[in-house]
Chains A and B, each alone.
Chain A
Amino acid sequence: AQSVSQHNHHVILSEAASLELGCNYSYGGTVNLFWYVQYPGQHLQLLLKYFSGDPLVKGIKGFEAEFIKSKFSFNLRKPSVQWSDTAEYFCAVNPSGGSYIPTFGRGTSLIVHP
């Protein structure tokens, strides 16, 4: 069965700092990868996803993620964070041809100070 590791559980940044959140997965085959975000008081929503093609994917609000197959990684980046980026971020993997059930990481809590 697949698994997802998010190494940073809590991240605190000042506005305008750069962000990189790590995500590694364990699965040997073809995968679909997702980042979801949960803003305070809101439901989980998709930030971006990768399923084929260009390994550098861009999402909403200036976020991007790079799929590096050799490292089994799908790290999330943003060059300059804003206070409004304060949220919980979840990485998820759903193997192609698998059980159709996405597996989520533990999440990373990001706090951005103004």
Chain B
Amino acid sequence: GAGVSQSPSNKVTEKGKDVELRCDPISGHTALYWYRQSLGQGLEFLIYFQGNSAPDKSGLPSDRFSAERTGGSVSTLTIQRTQQEDSAVYLCASSLAGTTNEKLFFGSGTQLSVL
């Protein structure tokens, strides 16, 4: 596709369940970012992938959160044992080379609701 694709667009889950969120970046983009957008809190960085380098996981809020990127393309963010405070919009973005002056291309996000 032409843009960053995220699925599902909405996910409702029960507290304690695991969820997987998927991101398909723009073809050829080497950098991939995950952010979390909570109401009134702006965008909170979670994790960053660049090519074959080890990911920067410094934004992950707890060890319940993990992410992988297979083949330098599709990424999956996994949240284990979900809690109500995990409810938010999870945004994925990609950029061509990950340089500091590049713009990010965002997906439409996954709205996660934990009941």
Residues of B within 8 A of A86 (CB): none
Chain B interface: which of A65-73, A75-83, A88-96? Answer: A88-96
Asked if residues A96 and B43 are in contact (CB atoms below 8 Å), the reply is no
Asked if residues B33 and A90 are in contact (CB atoms below 8 Å), the reply is no
B104 interfacial by beta-carbon distance below 8 Å: yes
B106 interfacial by beta-carbon distance below 8 Å: yes
Residues of B within 8 A of A97 (CB): 100
Asked if residues A46 and B100 are in contact (CB atoms below 8 Å), the reply is no
Given the complex of chains A and B, what is the CA–CA distance between A37 and B111 in angstroms? 18
- Identity of the chain B residue whose Cβ is nearest the Cβ of A105 in the assembled complex: B42
Asked if residues B41 and A106 are in contact (CB atoms below 8 Å), the reply is yes
Given the complex of chains A and B, what is the CA–CA distance between A94 and B43 in angstroms? 14
Given the complex of chains A and B, what is the CA–CA distance between A105 and B35 in angstroms? 13
Given the complex of chains A and B, what is the CA–CA distance between A49 and B104 in angstroms? 11
Given the complex of chains A and B, what is the CA–CA distance between A100 and B40 in angstroms? 24
Asked if residues B42 and A34 are in contact (CB atoms below 8 Å), the reply is no
A7 interfacial by beta-carbon distance below 8 Å: no
A45 interfacial by beta-carbon distance below 8 Å: yes
Asked if residues A103 and B45 are in contact (CB atoms below 8 Å), the reply is yes
User: Measured between C-beta atoms, what is the minimum distance from B8 to chain A in Å?
Assistant: 15
Asked if residues B101 and A46 are in contact (CB atoms below 8 Å), the reply is no
A44 interfacial by beta-carbon distance below 8 Å: yes
User: Measured between C-beta atoms, what is the minimum distance from A46 to chain B in Å?
Assistant: 4
User: Measured between C-beta atoms, what is the minimum distance from B54 to chain A in Å?
Assistant: 13
Residues of A within 8 A of B101 (CB): 32, 49, 51-52, 94, 96
State the 5 A-B residue pairs at the shortest beta-carbon distance, nearest first.
A106-B42, A51-B101, A104-B43, A44-B106, A46-B103
Interface residues of A (CB under 8 A from B): 6, 9, 32, 34, 36, 42-46, 49, 51-52, 90, 92, 94-107
Interface residues of B (CB under 8 A from A): 3-4, 31, 33, 35, 40-43, 45, 48, 50, 56, 59, 91, 93, 98-101, 103-104, 106-109
